[in-house]
């Protein structure tokens, strides 16, 4: 029998136990947060979408909606954009939080990150590069872009120093040696949408261009590549060279650098093809 006095003595302990139980439930929920969506299908892989420079995860929205409509479990984590020495370990750690098979998709500089983050992870069943960098071991983004040139260079960027390095933002206006944000980064995007993208751009650290790649995951993981034939950021000749070197299944579309926005149906189709072939 519990008396009023003993009840008062038990109350703090019950509160503590209930609090610990709530924390445990929260922790279990949080551990599955990376892989839980309303349209999740347990028999299918988690599709992880990694954005590139001057963008954030919202650049994948047209693709995310289409994949979710097909019943896929989709996540689009932030790419830190600090350089591959920082970004790849962060993404690798994120991937470790996902149980089951993964199809890893990357756009632009995100390709450099996934090339390193997926190495050694047996859950990653396919790599899909969308207008993406596909470095080999020891190569830097600067090395690759120098092969064929890029509209993203010192003339088209604004440098903003911070305590840990230097961030680069794209200019809006055209200059004699720079075509401007619309023609460089957002060609093919409606002008009003391009203005919104410009206003919300996330900068990339200059370290991205000088830090070398490690062992590339595409040497051991089946690979797909889609790119726009009018890409001015990563020239089609470079995209073709990297895709062939990686033995990728290649799709080309009439578009610029932002095919996840301008050609989301085709991008979605390539991702689904990679899923069907590997899981």
Q: Which fold has domain 41-139+213-278?
A: Rossmann fold (3.40.50)
**Stretch 209-221: mean pLDDT, rounded?**
98
Residue 42 binned pLDDT confidence (cut-offs 50, 70, 90): low
**Stretch 198-204: mean pLDDT, rounded?**
97
Q: Which of 45 and 18 is assigned the larger pLDDT?
A: 45
pTM of the model as a whole: 0.85
pLDDT given at position 78: 97
How many CB atoms are located within 10 Å of the residue 250 CB?
17
Decide: 56 and 200 in contact? Cβ < 8 Å. yes
Q: Which residues contact 111 (CB under 8 A, 6 or more apart)?
A: 52, 129, 132, 133, 134
Domain residue limits, the chain: 41-139+213-278, 145-199
pLDDT score of 33 more than 50: no
Q: Which residues contact 68 (CB under 8 A, 6 or more apart)?
A: 37, 38, 39, 74
pLDDT given at position 47: 98
pLDDT given at position 24: 35
Instruction: Supply the mean pLDDT for the chain.
Output: 88
Q: Which of 33 and 185 is assigned the larger pLDDT?
A: 185
pLDDT given at position 43: 67
**Stretch 20-32: mean pLDDT, rounded?**
35
């Amino acid at each position: 029998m519990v008396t009023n006095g003993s009840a008062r003595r038990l109350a703090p302990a019950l509160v503590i136990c209930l609090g610990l139980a709530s924390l445990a439930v929260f922790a279990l929920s949080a551990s599955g947060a990376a892989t839980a969506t309303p349209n999740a299908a347990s028999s299918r892989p988690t599709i992880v979408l990694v954005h590139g420079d001057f963008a954030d995860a919202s650049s994948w929205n047209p693709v995310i909606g289409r994949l979710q409509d097909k019943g896929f479990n989709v996540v689009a984590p932030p790419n830190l954009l600090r350089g591959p020495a920082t970004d790849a370990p962060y993404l690798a750690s994120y991937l470790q939080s996902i149980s089951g098979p993964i199809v890893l998709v990357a756009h632009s500089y995100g390709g450099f990150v996934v090339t390193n983050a997926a190495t050694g992870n047996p859950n990653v069943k396919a790599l899909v590069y969308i207008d993406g960098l596909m470095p080999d071991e020891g190569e830097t983004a600067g090395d690759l872009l120098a092969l064929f040139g890029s509209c993203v260079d010192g003339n088209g960027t604004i440098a903003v120093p911070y305590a840990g390095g230097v961030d680069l933002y794209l200019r809006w206006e055209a200059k004699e040696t720079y075509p401007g944000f619309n023609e460089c980064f957002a060609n093919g995007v409606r002008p009003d949408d391009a203005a919104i993208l410009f206003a919300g751009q996330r900068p990339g650290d200059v370290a991205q261009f000088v830090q070398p790649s490690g062992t590339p995951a595409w040497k051991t993981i089946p690979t797909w590549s889609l790119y726009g034939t009018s890409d001015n950021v990563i020239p089609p000749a470079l995209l073709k060279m990297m895709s062939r070197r990686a033995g990728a299944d290649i799709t080309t579309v009439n578009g610029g650098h932002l095919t996840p926005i301008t050609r989301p149906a085709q991008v979605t189709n390539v991702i689904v093809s990679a899923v069907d072939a590997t899981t």
